Structure 1
Amino acid sequence: MNQQVQSVAFVTVAHHTADEERALTTVNGEVLLKHTVRGLLDTPELDLVVVSAPTRCAESFSDALADLVPGLSDRCRFVPGASLRQVFPAVEPSLSPDAVVLVHDALRAFTPQRTFREVLTTVREGASVVVPVLPMADTVKATDAGLITATVDRDGLRTAQTPVGFSLDAFRAALASSPTPGLDSVAGATTVPGDPDAMRVASAFELTLAEALVAGGDQEAPL
């Protein structure tokens, strides 16, 4: 790319080995990975989308996106690597010193564009690390040896989602302590509202919800 990249989103499947296969699960005729990448590419505020593909599944990931990426190669790249620590050097030279870095779970395929925008904006306004969160809806219990010992006050509890947004300096610092920074690298992060549609699609029930979401057309149109 000729111009320096102001914002980059890394798509990862780094949580569990099984996630590589889950990312290729079909929802409404298209694999989850394709839904994820399309949502990012349809967000004009993002300059570059990098699919961080473990070497063993790089070919299958590339094949899955073959009809989506042509003509968009300047905005979407595949970089094989076992972790973002391995992938990042291939992208780092193209980044502006004030670039915003997003790290997004490939299985959160239906994250609304407004969430991407809010994370980007909040980092640009000065936050070093930003995480979308949702309030806890369930009653939470503490247990010991299989017995309930207390009810946990859920007022201050939140469920965390991706994308995690980093300033470039914060991302480099996170890479020093984690091969693939994400929700394990968010202590002290600023929060923004998450969205129920940004669920992690990893179970049969969640796949059913995802099918209903796509069939219902309850997704944002690109701006």
Structure 2
Amino acid sequence: MSDDSRPSPTGVRTAVVIPAAGRGVRLGPGAPKALRTLNGTPMLIHAVRAMAASRAVSLVIVVAPSDGAAEVKSLLDAHALPERTDILVVPGGDTRQESVRLGLDALPPEYGIVLVHDAARPLVPVDTVDAVIEAVLEGAPAVVPALPLADTVKEVEPAGASGPEPVLATPDRSRLRAVQTPQGFDRATLIRAHETVTDNVTDDASMVEQLGLQVVAVPGHEEAFKVTRPLDLVLAEAVLARRRLTDGF
């Protein structure tokens, strides 16, 4: 929306791709998940603002539903967003992986760092965004924010929709992390991953792992949770209410 794209102090520009083409069926019928509102504002707007809060981010590419790009662009135009950050809307594909690739295809050549962020994580603090970018600047080809697990984890033999499931093992919880977004990448690495990896894709970082490259984790944040179920909406509203009281957010 502004052409004042600012490089980071190192001269390497950072862009964010937000795939927002999913329907979010676990939240029930209605608007696509990214367009559900929190405190009267669509989650997508919160997510874009969270990314644009980092002064290192100068471009956000929103990947919209293939038949809803115009609607998403109008939505973004109707809300106040930082003028220092350019916003681009492109139509997405049938899968998240395809949508991210389409976002990468629209990336101008001067951007060397790419973050991929879930629109359904609308409340990521700017310190988390900056920590991911800094780790990529320091040489990591792929970076994920992650949190230690609070619960004991069991590996089970899946038994379908219902019924008891035999426990196979109890992994060492101290070695496990719950991964969040934004995930950060060296641009060339992420493009190569999308060009070559098609199987066993759980997130973009797993694609880089399949290239045999090192992925590193930086501390995540409890407010970077994913809004997937109706209860998550309640929690997100509570976080926003607390921010209004403490930060004037």
TM-score range, shorter chain: 0.7 to 0.9
Task: Find out whether 1:135 has 2:143 as its counterpart.
Answer: no
1:128 and 1:63, CA in 2 relative to 1: closer, same or farther beyond 3 A? Answer: same
Matched, 1:156 2:175: yes
CA–CA distance in structure 1, aligned partners of residues 228 and 147 of structure 2: 18
Which string of whole-angstrom CA distances, capped at 9 and with x for unpartnered residues, describes residues 15-60 of structure 1?
x543771111111111100101111122211111111113222233
Asked whether 1:176 is paired with 2:195, we answer: yes
Distance in 1 between the 2:244 and 2:181 partners? 20
Count of residue pairs brought into register by the alignment: 217
**Aligned residue number for residue 207 of structure 2:** 185
Q: 1:157, 1:45 → 2: CA distance?
A: 30
SS in 2 for 1:52: strand
Please report the RMSD computed on the Cα atoms of aligned residues, expressed in angstroms: 2.7
Instruction: Show the counterpart of 2:235.
Output: 209
2:102 aligned to which of 86, 89, 98: 86
Q: Does 1:105 align with 2:124?
A: no
Q: After superposition, what is the alpha-carbon deviation per residue over 1:51-108, rounded to whole angstroms, capped at 9, x for unaligned?
A: 1113222233223222226783861111223223223232233x24xx1110000001
The answer on 1:34 being equivalent to 2:49 is no
Tell me the distance in 1 between the aligned counterparts of 2:137 and 2:168: 43
Match of 2:166 among 144, 147, 152: 147
> What is the identity percentage for the equivalent residue pairs of Structure 1 and Structure 2?
34
Match of 1:9 among 16, 19, 23: 16
Do the aligned partners of residues 134 and 3 (structure 1) sit closer, same or farther apart at CA in structure 2, a change above 3 Å counting? closer
TM score, norm. by length of structure 1: 0.86
Report the counterpart of residue 75 of structure 2 in structure 1. 64
Q: Select the residue among 54, 57, 66 that pairs with 1:46.
A: 57
**Alpha-carbon offset, residue 142 of structure 1:** 2.1
* Contiguous gaps of at least 5 residues in structure 2: 8-12, 26-30, 94-98, 160-164
For 2:188 and 2:245, the matched residues in 1 are separated by 33
TM-score (norm 2): 0.77
Shift of 1:218: 6.8
Q: Which has the higher contact order (CA 8 A, sep 6+)?
A: 1
Higher strand share: 1
